Structure 1
Amino acid sequence: MTDQASAGVPGQFVPWEGRFSGRVVLVTGAAGGLGADAVRRLAKEGATVVATDLVKPRTPQAALSLDLDVADPQAWQAAAHSIREAYGRLDGALFCHGIQGPEYAVQDVPAAGWKKTLEINLDGCFYGLQVVLPLMKQANYGRIVMLSSIAGREGNENMSAYAVSKAGMITLAKAVAKETARFGITINCIAPSMFNTRLLEDLSPERNAALLARVPMKRVGEPQEFSALALWLLSPEASYMTGQVLDLSGGRNTA
């Protein structure tokens, strides 16, 4: 890697105290990686955070922690019921769940791996939208942010399942944003490149090196950099942005 000082390594970002006071925000994939950092910052900024993961996350900053299999529509219904019973409202949702999926040339991708990747990454967002939108419509307000990927904008070789799932997520957001704009609900995607999370461990060293070579900053992103953008999109200030995908890529451009 290059000199990190010249590559823009972030310092400590200062939370915006009270920005989410009175707001209830759901975070999936909250047990680690980008979701865990977002939970911490949301709580610091006054949000009532509902943290979910496949196994109930042990997140002291969350007001409510739930186990949630995002690929199971009934589990989503149960989570929505718990939120409705506890708070009677939902103001924001940050979908941070996801898996890397199989890393093979397309002819060698196992059918089970393809199916599982799309079920978690894409179907998990579809089922989530089906249950969180009614909670938001009743208040004519909502902010939804979904974790896509730069791979969903341009594709990554030998990662077809992952790229397709993330591209589908972008199109899902654009379509549903048009359906919900009149209800004061915004839906946007963030498309990161490489970030310092456990998902990097699921890639081969060769794949990591090849992907990093395409990032002009020559470093991976840090979770706090993701949280800074995600929280703005979840905030009342992001009132006129919907159906968009924002690259968070260290300068990597789609081609």
Structure 2
Amino acid sequence: MGKIHQTAIIEDGASVHPDAHVGPFCVVGKDVTLAADVTLKSHVAVAGNTKIGRGTTIFPFASVGHAPQDLKYNGENSELVIGENCTIREHVTINPGTEGGGMQTRVGDNCLLMIGAHVAHDCILGNHVILVNNATLGGHVALGDFVIIGGLSAVHQFVRIGEHAMIGGASGVETDIIPFGSATGNRAALGGLNLTGMKRRGFSREDIHALRSAYKYLFSGDGTFAERCKSMPEEYSKFSSVQTVLKFINEETKRGFCHPE
């Protein structure tokens, strides 16, 4: 067993790495796996078939792996997988998957979930995702790498948000957000591209200019949105950022796409 405080409760069957730290008054369920260097600060409750990756730190009063808030959930042995080097702050709630959604909720590596964030059943989060305070994800939401969800925002069930996209605070997101998109509003609308994020992450000047031109073509060109997706000029579509957006648009969606106002 790991470095466990005398007031913590570790149920029989739990797998706790010798280099994990379980602080005061934590409760770790029988099917939980804690990898090396995982730290549960104090008063953390981890339940269900939950695996927490190396170096992840969870702060007090987080509820991780307890039954989903889904009336169709019938006790199936679904899974929650949290990656490496994540930071999960106070009062965060993360639920496992359900039979209707693939049986797994997954949080990638190097994610930051700030105070009060909620990740519902069957959500899939990429790497380096940030959920700011009280951001909430409905069931079956998919977030790409480097997505940022602003504080007090709510993302509707089944919405997809592409990599490097940013959602402004206090937004309600009902439709898919393209990769690199920047959206905000009571019912979120695209306000452009997350250019600041692209610059911070080393995208070339040429890539950024091509994506800006492709964005204008997609959302203000002639014909329908579907027609413009299919007829994207090669001078733009040869760039990786534009290819990422087009690939995202061509994948299956249940919610449609967010457009500019």
Q: Same fold (TM over 0.5)?
A: no
TM-score of the superposition, structure 2-length normalised?
0.25
Higher strand share: 2
Q: Compare CA radii of gyration and give the structure with the larger one.
A: 2
Higher helix share: 1
TM-score of the superposition, structure 1-length normalised?
0.25
